[in-house]
Structures are given as C-alpha cells and as structure tokens.
Amino acid sequence: MSKVLHIKASPRGMNSDSTKVAEAFLEAFLKSHRNFGSEELDLFREKLPPFEAPAAAAKYAVLGGSEPKGPDALAWKAVIEVIDRFKSADLLLLSSPMWNFGIPYRLKHYIDLLVQPGLTFTYGPEGYKGLVTGRPAVLILSRGGSYAPGDAMDFQKRYLEAVLGFIGFSDIRSVLIEATLSGADNVQIVAKAVTEARNLAGKI
Ligand SMILES: Cc1cc2nc3c(=O)[nH]c(=O)nc-3n(C[C@H](O)[C@H](O)[C@H](O)COP(=O)(O)O)c2cc1C
C-alpha cells in the first residue's frame, strides 16, 4: 500500500486553519486513491532527536567522506531514523502556518534533521543532487496576511519550495489560506481553501 505522510506544523490542534484544510485534502485524496493509506507526524507532539554538537560533527564527518564515530554515530543513527520515515512517504502532505514570515521552529528543526549528505542529497563535480525523487509534495500554507507571488517577505512558501526542491522534489503543489487575521470571515476563507484542496486531491 502507498502512503501519504501528513506532517503537521501548527500547534493549534483542530483550531488550526492549515490542519483543517490539510485534513480535508487527505480525506478527499484517500477516497479517490484507494491504494493509499496515511500516517501523521505532528511536529508539536512528537519528540524529535536534537540536532546539536554530535549530530553536527557527524554531518561534517560524512561531508568529509568519513564515518561518524562514538556519540556522533549514535546521533547520526537517530537522524537516519527520522529520514527513513520521511522517505517512506509516496506523497508528502505538509501543513504549516506562517510564523514571523517564515515557518514554526519545530518545522525548521525537522528540516535541519532531514537535509543530510548521502541521505537526502549528494554532491559532486556537477553540483548538488536531491535524492528524494519520484513523489509529489502538497503544501497547505496558512498566513494571517496576504502575500503576492514573489513577495520578498514570504519566507514560508519560498523557503519550503526551495528546501524541498534541494532534496529532490520537482512536483510541489500549494494551497494557500490567506488573510486569516484580516478581520474577514475566517470560516469563508477556510471553506474556500478546503474546496481548492479537495479539487487538487482529485488531480494528483
Ligand atoms: C507566532 C506567530 C507568528 C505569526 N507570524 C505571522 C507572519 O509573520 N505573517 C502572517 O501573515 N501571519 C502570521 N501569523 C498568523 C498565522 O500565520 C495565521 O493565524 C495562520 O492562519 C495560523 O495557521 P494555523 O491555524 O494553522 O496555526 C503568526 C501567528 C503566530 C502564532
């Protein structure tokens, strides 16, 4: 059976705009893709391994062409487990709010674990090459304001597309939930995004 991995980056539970829309996407997607199941990774509930001195030393060892040793090897093993789970997804569904023009810190922590030489990217004389290929990613992104395409302050969508592109994703679709703090009717804003997400689910 194929798998959708839903990575949730809002701590707001069922009050979360991005979670509501992502769950509507998932429900529609699973209905129209009977060979898929789903798994959830809630970044504010699950404990991620730290990425501190031993993991950083391991990363530099691997970049330098050697094997991590001792506590560094242990830290690297924990990183590999996180990456194995990520790579087990046939469709990546990532829902996240914008926080301070970027992403919540737990999602950044997760990305710092994911982007690793030999595991999610390689490099050589021809430059860098992503290793997580052959599967689509769907981003469900909420933000209090509105950001026109290419807005310099949008470090949420641009960053996520860049980093996922770096590790190999070439098919990245987005549903935006915008102006959630504008004073406009929030129920309507979410409902519009839910419709868009359900339509997208039928097209993948
Ligand atoms: C800590 C924090 C920082 C935020 N920073 C921004 C921001 O920089 N720009 C913006 O448009 N909205 C910002 N917001 C608003 C959220 O992006 C918005 O309310 C979003 O709809 C929340 O999504 P969620 O319900 O899925 O968590 C911020 C909210 C929080 C809690």
The CATH number of domain 2-203 is 3.40.50.300: no
Predicted pLDDT at 193? 98
Delimit the domains of the chain by residue range: 2-203
Judged against a pLDDT cut of 90, whether residue 192 lies above it is answered with yes
What is the amino acid identity at position 16? S
| Residue 100 Cβ < 6 Å to ligand 1 | yes
| Residue 104 Cβ < 6 Å to ligand 1 | no
| Residue 16 Cβ < 6 Å to ligand 1 | yes
pTM of the complete model beyond 0.85? yes
> pLDDT-derived band of residue 184, with 50, 70 and 90 as boundaries?
confident
Whose C-alpha lies nearest to ligand 1, atom 31?
A: 99
Q: In this structure, what token pair is assigned to residue 30?
A: 């699973």
Judged against a pLDDT cut of 90, whether residue 95 lies above it is answered with yes
Query: Considering only 42-46, 123-127, 130-134, which range has the smallest mean pLDDT?
Result: 123-127
As to burial, measured by CB atoms within 10 angstroms (0-12 exposed, 13-18 middle, 19+ buried), residue 11 is: middle
Relative to the CA of 146, which ligand 1 atom is closest? 11
132 CA to middle of ligand 1, Å? Answer: 29
Per-chain mean pLDDT for the chain: 97
